[in-house]
Structure 1
Amino acid sequence: MPFRFSHLCQLLESLEEIERHDPPLLRDARRDRVQKTVVAWFRVHRRSIDAPDTDRVALLSSLFPERRTDRVYLLQAPRLLQAIARGLELRSEKLATLNRFKSPGNGDLGDCLARVLKVHDAEPRLGYVSVEEVDAVLQDIASKVRFSSPAVRTRKSLSNDSPGHLLAAIVRRLKSFEAKWLVRMILKDYAPVVLDQQHVLRCFHFLLPALLKFQDTFEAAMHLIQGPLGEFPSSPDPRSQVVFRKQAAELLRPQIGVKVGRPSFHKARSLKDCLRTVGSRKWAIERKYDGEYCEIHIDLSKGPDCIQILSKSGKDSTQDRQGVHGWIREALRLGTSECRFKRTCILLGELVVYCDKERQIQAFHKIRKHVSRSGSFLGNDADSQAHEHEHLMIVYFDVLMVDEEITMRLPHRQRRDRLRDLIVKKRGSAVTAEWKEIDFAQVTAERTLVEQFACALYDRCEGLILKPSDAPYFPLDNAGDWRGFVKLKADYMIDMGSDRDVADFAVVGGSYDAQQALKSGLQNISWTTFHIGCLINKEAVLRFQARPSFRVVEVIHQEHCIPKPDLEALNRLGKFRQETDSLHRKFDLCPVRYPIPPMDVVFRKPFVIEVLGSGYVKPPNQDFFMLRHPRVIKLHLDRDFTETTCIDELSSLAEKARNIPEGSESQETGRLVKKIMANRRERDERSSMRTTPQSTASTSPSLRRRTPVSHRAESTQLPKVWIDTTKTLSSHECVVEVSRGAVSPLQVSATQGERAFHPPPLSSSTRENSIEHRNTKESQPTTRPQKRTIDVAADQCLALSARKKVQKTASNADLPPLSPRTILRNSASRLTGIWALGNG
């Protein structure tokens, strides 16, 4: 029987309870609970999942709606609210409840819909809703949107119902909490629940993660599981899994028209991190070009329509990239006797814009003038027209299949040899990525890597990609020590220092997004998105105290872009600076163009943040350059907005970063190599200083103050004096026993007598100078014993001074050494003076 949608909602509801546990669970404890919950859910529903009449593609699409990039619904939260309200014919008060998701503290649209439908949970339903029904409705909605993939649009149903009526027919049969998850499924965001994709896929079928590596669609993967791999159980024991994986690896092959998965990438945060990852193996160093990833499938049996181009997300963009079809035919010699394959081929490349006039690759943002999105050119309202001397070019860097040969199983150097044989290179139309092999077992490997990195940055490439020379594209049987690829970029590397693209900006306002708020992990968050601006009249503000005027240049969302402490500070301090009335603003704001969204509040005094980016790019529909992929490094509360980057300074920074330096290549690369190596050595020195053993390093007083009592035997040996307090101190008649002990400071033991020796509390100056004051205070007994030990609360320098006097007197030939009685009398008189000073 079909799989019930309520079963899926129960899993998501349980995971949400774990994420919203109060008090919040620790990360490891939360992860363990989530994994146990997922495993238990699959164990309970295993029979239904594996049933022949269950549409497992629909179930996987429901578990991971974000992977269905081929489906576009055009239903963001505001439009989805209107569609549901019309379909359910909600009254005004319930519509107002739905609109509360736009305000902080009310949850997202799914939470608000659940509140509206909560009163109807007790009403009978007309049968249960299955996952297959929900998937069919979403397929019907997506098939009518032109931004969906061609395969989705071809399966268009005959129904002319609006999305609101289609969804209303489903929502009326759902309970309130089930409707909440349906809304989040349409928005392709289950936040605050984030499913561990690899773990869930392994629980679904142990081969599914490996299958999606080379056939990255649920339809193709399930076709294999239900076909050639149908005899394998879904969840065998670990020992059997090893055998089954080896058997499955022999049956697997890429499929024309189905996107191949991508290997995992490790982002090297420093040169040391990169070297630790690569080890002592041979790696191929390949330049990373700033373009759009494309996967080219060739099937000669289709005649003129033999070319298919897939984007990074897996969407079919063949028609949108018609400008490179001719270059592909020419490079591969299609339709000629010189073509190096007979039937099929899969190639990987980077789509860039090349300028014949400048004879170099152009900036990333110029691609949108040559590539449409489902037939429309988006984001180029402020761009110039495409020039005749600018055109698309493909930089090929890998080949995955040639006819029956699965080249992705070959080592990298052999794949590059096959690629060289396939491609006819021509400057401006088809080239291969520059690469070099480095043996990291050699002592010169580190410097060679840095030199290659510096040369790539000089030529305005994004960075480098490191690929194992002796490893396949990715192993199909998960064997060996394959670690994936390493990505080396300037904005990742802390060794770059000031050469990274960093600038200070003013935070002029903020806005709230309900879905972003669920991902933040913060309670009572007011703003999730912050609008950063630049002064357009900075000189007038500084010289003549003119009214500031800002231009919003970017918005930064909290997810992965703002450190959590800074996000908390902005939400906490922003409440004292927010201004909703435009009449009371202390600065002006220039009109903004789409896609920059409007802000909810304006901060009377803008905050100052330090922002890191990956180069400079012209944002869509804008006429200025801005940092690409901006991320907040730090919030500076000690800086004023007049110290931030103005719009003219931003333009100068972008021009400097985009243009090749005026100096020679050798000078610029040499300077960068020296800087990276120097920063590497400096970090290593600081790291070695932090890891120096305490016995060989100088110990601060704060560390010595916390030294355990058992370790104080290593300290200076000071006199230990025993006093019989049955005699009064004024008579100085003491029975003295002096011994060399490990007591610090001077420790006096006394028996209970007529006038016991009770030291008064220390003065503030004495307390600060006393190194062992805390330990001596904690060591005092709470009850007075018959014979007790009294720690004389004196400065350690007093005891050391007494000891030095003894040594000095003993070394003097003219004077006899002082007796212990004299030493004690002098010490007692000094202590009496200190206590009198403290009490006075």
Structure 2
Amino acid sequence: MLFPEEDVRRKYGLQETRLAQYLTKILGVSSAAIGRGERLRKWKGEDALGCLGNEVQTVMADSSTTDVSSISLCRMDSLLAELAGKCAFSADVYRKAAHTSRRSREAILSELYTSLTPSESAVVTQIILKDLRPLLYPIPQSACHYTSALLEYKSNAVAMLTKESAMHAWDSSGRMSLIFKTRANLEEAATAYEGLANGEDFPQPTVGMPIQIPKCVKGQGPVHSLKSLKGADKIWVETKYDGERAQIHVWFDDEGVPRIRIFSKSGRDSTLDRAGIHSIVWAALGIPHTASYAEEDAQSSNPPPFERGVVVEAEMVAYSDVLGRIDEFWRIRSLIARTAIGVRHRSPPPGPSTQEEAMETQCSLISNGSDGGTRHLALVFYDVLLLDDASLLPMPYGQRREVLERLINVNPGYAMLAERTCIDTRLPNGGEMLRRVFARVVADHQEGVVIKADGAGYAEKRWPWVKLKQDYIPGHGDSVDLVLLGASWEKERARELRVPPTAYTTFYFGALANADELGKNPNRLPHFEVIFTSSYGLDREQLEELIFMVQNCDPAPYRHQMAASLSYTHTLCRSLSPPTVLLGQPLLAELFGAGFTKSQGNHFYELRFPRIAKIFRPSDRPWLDGTTLPELQQIARASVGRERSGKAEDDWAHSIFRPDVPPSPGLHCPVKRKRTEDMWVERLAVIDAKVGSRSPTKRTRIEGPSVRKAVQGAYRENVENEAGPSTAVAASNASGSPRQRVGMLRLDSVTNVVSSPPPRGPPSTSPLPRRRDKDPCAPGPSNRPATPPSSPSRSDNPMPIQPPGNMEDTDYSFSLTPGFYSRTITRSTMLPIRSNAVRGVPGPPDLPARSPTPDEFYCPSVHLDRPLDPVPFVPTGRTLYQFLHNSVVWLARPDGAPRPAWRAASQAVLPPSSRVNTLDAVVLACGWTETPACAWAARGVVFVDDSEDPSGWSLQGTMKELAALRAAALKAGRAAACKPVFLHSMTMLAHDALTETATVEEWESQAICRFG
């Protein structure tokens, strides 16, 4: 009872609201206004501490006349067991016992509470609610205000009691803690400990009893991960698949009938919930059974490789036969509900067709979970813990894996072995090898890796498992800018912080859903889709400041939202509980997370494990700068490896109407994946070089825009008159590229061993030649994507340009190159350092550190057990965002003009610090005037609308002006100091054009013309 949250077998089905209703009847009090029981109903009101147990004690203290309870601890446990039997989610042992009792919940609770003192009632209440923290670590009376609670107290001021410390207090010899590793249940471990005689061996793991799952160390980079495994000669880098953990126990009973029991990560018996994988387990272990795979030949005629029992660990995933790979994590939910037996079974409602299911608004709740039978559950096995009553826990990991490979009958798409790669840490390039393995996993759109020492036993403290994921590396999680619309007090996070209900702990985030309508009609109210909540990311000081900002944004109680004069409308995702307040003036927030997912009943992608990075004041950045809903979905699809919405239809139309034009390359193009892998290798090398001296930094949104011009026009002018102009400039650090999942690949193989490259001599001081790989995905004369309707077709021949007016005798030259349209996923990576800014051209003084240029970069040595050799840098293709970081960029369009719907927001693809507002600033920075050129600027880039534009910002007008300025510079003899200016089409910033990367040379070749 001291750790009720650890009791996974007892479920009471009661939370504060429902339990308070029972207690008002049992205690005979009224919950109406000014009634004695009103405190029970308002247990999380502003004048309360957010603990129902405290309110029960207060109410009972007013009428109780006894200080001694009349019930024994054994009877109390019996009543709690009877109460748990009324819940369908409790273990069978409690539900079966409850069948002998016909008493109602109210009768059981009445006997329980009428025998308790007020203080004991408070404890029992929190036991039923499975949380004793508010009683064990109460909030001080002086911390009733959120400011004092957050700023005058610390979360770690009180050391919370853990089950490990409790076991040590009960048994200082540590024997019970050792027993708990093989009996991961406090009741079973205590029973085994009490029955252990002096000198008797510790009980070994047994089938049917959960084995404690070891906790992984979070790796913050390759070198940081290797430090946790110092001393291990050989390690294995195992792919971490995005699924649900399953500890599978299989044994033969006395009659030879095979039995199965499956435990979830929490230790709960999930055998009936995981009924959909039973047949996979039978076939994988070679056990004849009536249920089997769809393939008849999957069953093995050989006898099982064990005689009595086995315990294996696996990841349960959703596998798509259509895609030929593991599907997204959220797909598991509907597959489990459809195949479960018992209370968790849910019949799938009629959903859309398979073709419609791929649309953007696909709902995870009503979607066809099996996709016509082509999507199903699968298992990826990665460890074995018990074999025929022999514990394999002390056995080294390498030997356990060999046993596992002999046990499992691999069947691709159903039963697979986790892919792993061996690295010899004794070699000087172990860090480099780990970087390449992790980069490959990221490029394959997998969740991450788990690094294990070859000689480590299961749950060994000397060499723990190390989990390495993108979001574990500071500044490399998926990041977006969204709008904060509501706030509430949430008990789980509040009890971690020890704050009362006056402190908001959970915040509601959404995205603008009608951006296009606002661009056309600024008088319409903005409409937001509230998608998810976040409670983490800010420290206590930042949280206090955020609450203060919320209080000053005219918050309106949610129950009065219809009467409140809010300046927007919203739709709340039905899986979310309503917020306490809605903000009268929304705020912009930067969030980061571990990829994207869909919650139950939600139509849209949301950040997974979202954390708040920063909240912007309206005077710094208005909410209009946030990512719109379509942009958020586009970012999410690229991150999880889904093709853009409508691509299949576009490819089909191209095959019908333009059969000579190849379809546009997809997200899983091998060349794109290779580029992503190389980019991550470079990025990880920089991260490893900073280990020990680096402070965590954030990175800019990858496709998430900072400044939104699409919703501007008159509507934005009205908002900015009240909120003030945007002044913040988002800095970025190394950022991640879309995680690409290319499928199962080598899941049916045993291992992949990275071979050590041949020894290299000392790195050359001269720069390496740039590697030029032919890109089959790059647009060319035969596969050039179609341009938007607003842009006329271009000729493949350069356009002759006549010099303006009176310049026929001036010596100047420039040329036009055939225009290609490239598709780029814009993910910022390393930012260049700038200095010596020219007057009139912005030169940021405090940009984050950047990756050195190819001429000056080499990977420094990384110190593990022995120093590594320097690794020379091999340049790879860089994205448009990187290309423009050392360019001066100007968009030739009227100031304040609304962004067309087909074009991406400029802040999403253009570095904010590289932007200028006039053509004069471009030529000034490029040294076309008497002022010296910017030291950091390598070129000028001008984007123009190459369609017929009557506003005066047309292609011809801009070219004539540049030609005149260039001619004047040449005539003045400044040709040698002048830097080139490239003229690009605005259509290169179109949404459908931003789907592939390009090298610097490719971007330069796609210019309409070049001056200089």
TM-score (norm 1): 0.68
**Paired residues of 1:533 and 1:551 also in contact (CA < 8 A):** yes
2:787 corresponds to which residue? none
Q: Secondary structure at the residue paired with 1:393?
A: strand
CA–CA distance in structure 1, aligned partners of residues 273 and 499 of structure 2: 41
CA–CA distance in structure 2, aligned partners of residues 683 and 483 of structure 1: 20
Counterpart of 2:114 (choices 172, 175, 183) is: 172
1:123 corresponds to which residue? 66
* Offset, 1:304: 4.5
Distance 1:519 1:667, change over 3 A: closer
Counterpart of 1:383 (choices 367, 371, 378) is: 367
**Paired residues of 1:214 and 1:261 also in contact (CA < 8 A):** yes
Q: Which amino acid is the alignment partner of residue 539 of structure 2?
A: P
Q: How do 1:821-840 residues align onto structure 2 when only pairs under 5 Å count?
A: none
Q: Which amino acid is the alignment partner of residue 677 of structure 1?
A: A
The answer to whether residue 21 in structure 2 is matched with residue 70 in structure 1 is no
CA–CA distance in structure 2, aligned partners of residues 386 and 289 of structure 1: 20
| Larger CA deviation: 193-202 vs 657-666 | 657-666
Counterpart of 2:445 (choices 460, 480, 486) is: 460
The answer to whether residue 276 in structure 2 is matched with residue 323 in structure 1 is yes
Q: Which amino acid is the alignment partner of residue 485 of structure 2?
A: V
Distance 1:113 1:366, change over 3 A: same
1:21 corresponds to which residue? none
Q: Which amino acid is the alignment partner of residue 370 of structure 2?
A: A
Distance 1:349 1:606, change over 3 A: same
The answer to whether residue 181 in structure 2 is matched with residue 213 in structure 1 is yes
CA shift digits 1:454-499 (9 cap, x unpaired) = 1111222110101121111035xxxxx62421110111112xx4x5
* Offset, 1:541: 3.9
Q: Secondary structure at the residue paired with 1:120?
A: coil
Distance 1:509 1:364, change over 3 A: same
CA–CA distance in structure 2, aligned partners of residues 635 and 492 of structure 1: 21
Q: Report the RMSD for the aligned CA atoms in angstroms.
A: 2.4
Q: Secondary structure at the residue paired with 1:102?
A: coil
User: Which structure exhibits the higher relative contact order, with contacts defined as CA atoms closer than 8 Å and separated by 6 or more residues?
Assistant: 2
Q: Which amino acid is the alignment partner of residue 287 of structure 2?
A: L
Q: Secondary structure at the residue paired with 2:330?
A: helix
CA shift digits 1:334-360 (9 cap, x unpaired) = 145431111111010001111122210
* Offset, 1:505: 1.5
Counterpart of 2:625 (choices 623, 643, 649) is: 643
2:297 corresponds to which residue? none
**Paired residues of 2:364 and 2:599 also in contact (CA < 8 A):** no
2:663 corresponds to which residue? none
* Offset, 1:533: 1.1
Counterpart of 1:338 (choices 292, 303, 318) is: 303
1:278 corresponds to which residue? 229
The answer to whether residue 579 in structure 2 is matched with residue 579 in structure 1 is no
Q: Secondary structure at the residue paired with 2:393?
A: helix
1:9 corresponds to which residue? none
2:162 corresponds to which residue? 196
CA–CA distance in structure 2, aligned partners of residues 141 and 589 of structure 1: 44
**Paired residues of 1:146 and 1:153 also in contact (CA < 8 A):** yes
**Paired residues of 2:45 and 2:501 also in contact (CA < 8 A):** no
CA–CA distance in structure 1, aligned partners of residues 492 and 594 of structure 2: 26
CA shift digits 1:45-93 (9 cap, x unpaired) = xxxxxxxxxxxxxxxxx01100111221110110111121222232341
1:349 corresponds to which residue? 314
Distance 1:404 1:521, change over 3 A: closer
2:674 corresponds to which residue? 666
Distance 1:134 1:685, change over 3 A: closer
Q: Which amino acid is the alignment partner of residue 471 of structure 2?
A: D
Q: How do 1:255-654 residues align onto structure 2 when only pairs under 5 Å count?
A: 255-281=206-232, 282-301=234-253, 303-335=256-288, 337-372=302-337, 374-377=343-346, 381-387=365-371, 388-475=373-460, 482-494=462-474, 497=475, 500-514=477-491, 516-522=493-499, 525-541=502-518, 544-545=521-522, 546-557=524-535, 560-577=536-553, 578-580=555-557, 581-582=560-561, 583-637=563-617, 638-654=620-636
CA–CA distance in structure 1, aligned partners of residues 499 and 67 of structure 2: 38
* Offset, 1:131: 2.7
Task: Percent identity, please.
Answer: 26
2:811 corresponds to which residue? none
* Offset, 1:160: 2.3
* Offset, 1:122: 3.6
CA shift digits 1:155-206 (9 cap, x unpaired) = 3253322223322222222222221121111111122434222111111223
Q: Secondary structure at the residue paired with 2:71?
A: coil
2:128 corresponds to which residue? 186
CA shift digits 1:681-739 (9 cap, x unpaired) = 3566768xxxxxxxxxxxxxxxxxxxxxxxxxxxxxxxxxxxxxxxxxxxxxxxxxxxx
CA shift digits 1:556-609 (9 cap, x unpaired) = 23xx55432232122222222212343333333333343211112111112222
2:797 corresponds to which residue? none
Q: Which amino acid is the alignment partner of residue 80 of structure 2?
A: L
* Offset, 1:676: 1.6
For structure 1, list consecutive stretches of 5 or more residues without a partner in the other structure: 1-61, 232-246, 476-480, 688-840
CA shift digits 1:762-800 (9 cap, x unpaired) = xxxxxxxxxxxxxxxxxxxxxxxxxxxxxxxxxxxxxxx
Q: Which amino acid is the alignment partner of residue 514 of structure 2?
A: N
2:869 corresponds to which residue? none
Q: How do 1:81-160 residues align onto structure 2 when only pairs under 5 Å count?
A: 81-92=20-31, 93-107=35-49, 108-123=51-66, 127-156=69-98, 158-160=100-102
**Paired residues of 2:67 and 2:117 also in contact (CA < 8 A):** no
Distance 1:100 1:375, change over 3 A: closer
CA shift digits 1:289-343 (9 cap, x unpaired) = 0011001111112654512211112222222222222221111111454311111
CA–CA distance in structure 2, aligned partners of residues 624 and 166 of structure 1: 43
CA–CA distance in structure 1, aligned partners of residues 621 and 257 of structure 2: 62
1:79 corresponds to which residue? 18
CA–CA distance in structure 2, aligned partners of residues 223 and 522 of structure 1: 38
Larger radius of gyration: 1
Distance 1:124 1:474, change over 3 A: closer
CA shift digits 1:343-399 (9 cap, x unpaired) = 111010001111122210111111112113633239953323422111111100000
* Offset, 1:512: 2.5
Distance 1:432 1:97, change over 3 A: same
2:900 corresponds to which residue? none
* Offset, 1:426: 1.1
Distance 1:527 1:542, change over 3 A: farther
Q: Which amino acid is the alignment partner of residue 22 of structure 2?
A: A
Distance 1:144 1:684, change over 3 A: closer
Q: Which amino acid is the alignment partner of residue 551 of structure 1?
A: E
Q: Which amino acid is the alignment partner of residue 166 of structure 2?
A: V
Q: Secondary structure at the residue paired with 1:347?
A: strand
Distance 1:682 1:540, change over 3 A: farther
Q: Secondary structure at the residue paired with 1:177?
A: helix
Q: Which amino acid is the alignment partner of residue 319 of structure 1?
A: L
Q: Which amino acid is the alignment partner of residue 120 of structure 1?
A: S
Select the structure that is richer in helix. 1
Q: Secondary structure at the residue paired with 1:602?
A: strand
Alignment: residue pair count: 599
Q: Which amino acid is the alignment partner of residue 140 of structure 1?
A: E
Q: Secondary structure at the residue paired with 1:391?
A: strand
**Paired residues of 1:295 and 1:311 also in contact (CA < 8 A):** yes
CA shift digits 1:204-226 (9 cap, x unpaired) = 22322221112111232123212
